[in-house]
Amino acid sequence: MTAPRTSSKHLTIAIRLGIVLTLCCVFVGVALAASLTDSTIDNFSQGTGDCFVSQADTGQVNGAVILSPTRAQNFSGPILPGDWYSDTGGSFLGGGNLYVIGKAGTWHPPFFAPSRTLEFAASFVTNTQFQDGGFSQFIESSPYAIFSTGAQPEVTGLRARSNNAVEPEINTNLGFGYFDAPHLYRIEWQLDRVNYFIDGVQVATHTIQFTDTLNAHDTMRPTFESVAGAGISLTLNWARMSDYAPSPCTFTSRAIDAGVSTSWTNFTTTLDQPPGTSSSFEVRGSPDGIDWSSGWQAVTSNIINLNGRYVQYRATLTTTDPLMTPQLLNVTIENNATAVELQSFSAGAATSDTTRWLIAGLALGSLLFGLSTIYLIKRRKQI
* 122 and 270 together in one domain: no
Whether 144 is covered by a domain: the verdict is yes
Q: Confirm if 342 and 349 have CB atoms less than 8 A apart.
A: no
* CATH number of the domain where residue 330 is located: 2.60.120
* 221 and 313 together in one domain: no
* 212 and 87 together in one domain: yes
Q: What is the pLDDT of residue 220?
A: 94
Q: Confirm if 29 and 45 have CB atoms less than 8 A apart.
A: no
pLDDT digits (tens, 9 = 90+) for 199-229: 999 999 999 998 764 454 678 999 999 986 6
Q: What is the pLDDT of residue 342?
A: 52
State which of 212, 244, 276 marks the end of a domain: 244
* CATH number of the domain where residue 131 is located: 2.60.120.200
Distance, CA of 354 to CA of 348 (rounded, Å): 14
Q: Confirm if 371 and 364 have CB atoms less than 8 A apart.
A: no
* 226 and 251 together in one domain: no
Distance, CA of 107 to CA of 204 (rounded, Å): 28
* 338 and 301 together in one domain: yes
* 323 and 191 together in one domain: no
Q: What is the pLDDT of residue 359?
A: 47
Q: What is the pLDDT of residue 60?
A: 67
Number of domain units in the chain: 2
Whether 329 is covered by a domain: the verdict is yes
Whether 351 is covered by a domain: the verdict is no
pLDDT along the chain (383 residues), means of 10: 51 51 46 54 93 84 93 85 79 87 89 94 92 91 94 93 93 96 96 96 96 65 84 88 94 90 91 95 95 95 91 96 94 69 35 43 54 55 55
Phi, psi angle pair for 51, to nearest 5°: -80, 175
pLDDT digits (tens, 9 = 90+) for 78-99: 888 788 888 766 788 888 889 9
Q: What is the pLDDT of residue 78?
A: 82
Q: What is the pLDDT of residue 372?
A: 56
Whether 376 is covered by a domain: the verdict is no
Q: What is the pLDDT of residue 233?
A: 83
Mutual orientation of helices 353-382 and 2-33 as an angle, nearest 10°?
170
* 122 and 150 together in one domain: yes
* 96 and 235 together in one domain: yes
State which of 197, 215, 244 marks the end of a domain: 244
Structural domain boundaries enclosing 280:
37-49+247-343
* 239 and 98 together in one domain: yes
Whether 383 is covered by a domain: the verdict is no
* 139 and 275 together in one domain: no
* 188 and 161 together in one domain: yes
Whether 185 is covered by a domain: the verdict is yes
Whether 2 is covered by a domain: the verdict is no
State which of 220, 244, 268 marks the end of a domain: 244
**Which DSSP symbol is given to 340?**
E
Q: What is the pLDDT of residue 371?
A: 58
Whether 1 is covered by a domain: the verdict is no
Q: What is the pLDDT of residue 153?
A: 92
* 224 and 253 together in one domain: no
**Using a CB cutoff of 8 Å and minimum separation of 24, what contacts does 10-14 make?**
10/376, 10/379, 10/380, 11/373, 11/376, 11/377, 11/380, 14/369, 14/372, 14/373, 14/375, 14/376
